[in-house]
Every structure is written in structure tokens, then in C-alpha cells.
Amino acid sequence: MPDTLIIAEGDSWFNHPLLRGIPYYLKKMDRRYHKELLAWPGDDMVRFLQRRDYLIELRSWAGNGMIKHRFLILSGGGNDMMANHFDEYLDSAQSPFLNVTFKKKMAQLIATYDLVFQLVQQKHEDVNVLVHGYAVPFPRANGSHLGKKMKKMGITNLETDGAVIMETIIGDFNTKLKALTDKYDKVEYIDLRDLAKVKTNWNDEIHPKKAVFKQMAKRFHDKIQNHLA
């Protein structure tokens, strides 16, 4: 009988029409898990904060006597950093090819996470929150998310300069997200970067393959099991 609630709020890493995503594989790892999926492809942290669907869902389960453990897992930030306005953050004249606008966007993203954590702590102090910082993707020449936008901004060597950009973005995001989670007792950071270190791990520019998502789900599973033991 399920006694562990897992609310999954996020983007296409949590809900992909073909690849499924991390929560799908996580649900299969323990019969005690009850999953509520709020994630949508293309969603971002700003919308999470505005809608507060995760708070509504947590509140709806608060009085359920069958649920002994409640978890909120989050996948957000990728679309904030690399969706429609990605080209506005690029500058081919400087290294690592990211301008001050991107630095401000990163600061906004971390501040948004901070607000989400504060809201959960304030309203649902028993809930454990798990977050991740993605892995370093590989820009592709025909890739509409990364490659084409880099070339538009004069960054044509995707193998080297493109790699520097992505390593800088994902590295900085993981460092700042980890530092933020360290300030909260009930929030834990999960590093997934080592699970998708080569191009063959990726289904496209921004999504790992199913087998990699399964490995990533195992990381979340292990964290949850530490609380259930």
C-alpha cells in the first residue's frame, strides 16, 4: 500500500512525451510510492512560483492518514536559462561567451528557488524537497535550443566554444543551487552530471536517453530511501 507521497513539479526532465522522465522510473522502484505529476515540458521556475500548484497539492494530501512521508521533487531552471531568450545571454566577443544579462538571469533563478524553498518550509515543514541541477548537454549544429542560437550569435565552433558555454552554465547552476540547499534542513541537492558525461548519453540537445533517466531516478530513489529507513 502506498504510504509515501512524491509530488513532482518540473519540466520535460520530469514529463517527456517519449522519454517519460525521472518520476516515471522512480515510481517503479518502490510500491510505497504514490506519485502526483505536475510537470510539463517547457515549464520554468517563474511559473512554478506564480502558480504554486505544488503547495496546493501538498495541502490536499496533508490530512491523509495513509501518507506517512511527503516529498516534493523539483526539476526547474533549464528553460529559464536556455529556452526562448538563450541568444540574449550570449556574447561571442568575450569568454566564456556569456554576458552580464545571463549573470542577472542566474541570480533571478536562484532567488526564485529560494522563494520556493521558503514557501514550502513555511507552509509544510514536514516535507522533504529534492532538487537537481541537470547535466552538461552537447549543442548540435541543427539544434533549435542551443546550436542554432549559438551560431546566430557568432559562436560557430560548437565542439569547443559551445562546450565551454554549457559547462559554465551548468557548472555555475549546480554550484549555486547546492549552496542554496545547504541553507535548508529539509532540502537536498542531487548531482546528476556524472550520469550524462558523453554525447551518446543524450537523446537530443537537452534530454538524456531513457536509460540515463532511469539512472537519475535511482539517485532520487536512494535519497528517498534514506528517509524511509
* Nearest CA-CA partner of 130 in 38, 228, 222: 222
pTM, to two decimals: 0.96
pLDDT at 51 over 90: yes
Task: Say what the pLDDT of residue 99 is.
Answer: 96
Write the pLDDT tens digit of every residue in 200-229: 999 999 999 999 999 999 999 999 999 997
Percent of the residues in the chain that have a pLDDT greater than 70, as a whole number: 100
Please, what are the domains in the chain? 4-84+107-138+174-228 (3.40.50.1110)
Write the pLDDT tens digit of every residue in 86-125: 999 999 998 899 999 999 999 999 999 999 999 999 999 9
Write the pLDDT tens digit of every residue in 53-99: 999 999 999 889 899 999 999 999 999 999 878 999 999 998 899 99
Handedness of CA 92, 105, 103, 12 (dihedral sign): negative
3-state secondary structure labels for all residues of 117-178? HHHHHHHCCCCEEEEECCCCCCCCCCCCCCHHHHHHCCCCCHHHHHHHHHHHHHHHHHHHHH
Span 18-35, mean pLDDT? Answer: 97
Task: Say what the pLDDT of residue 38 is.
Answer: 97
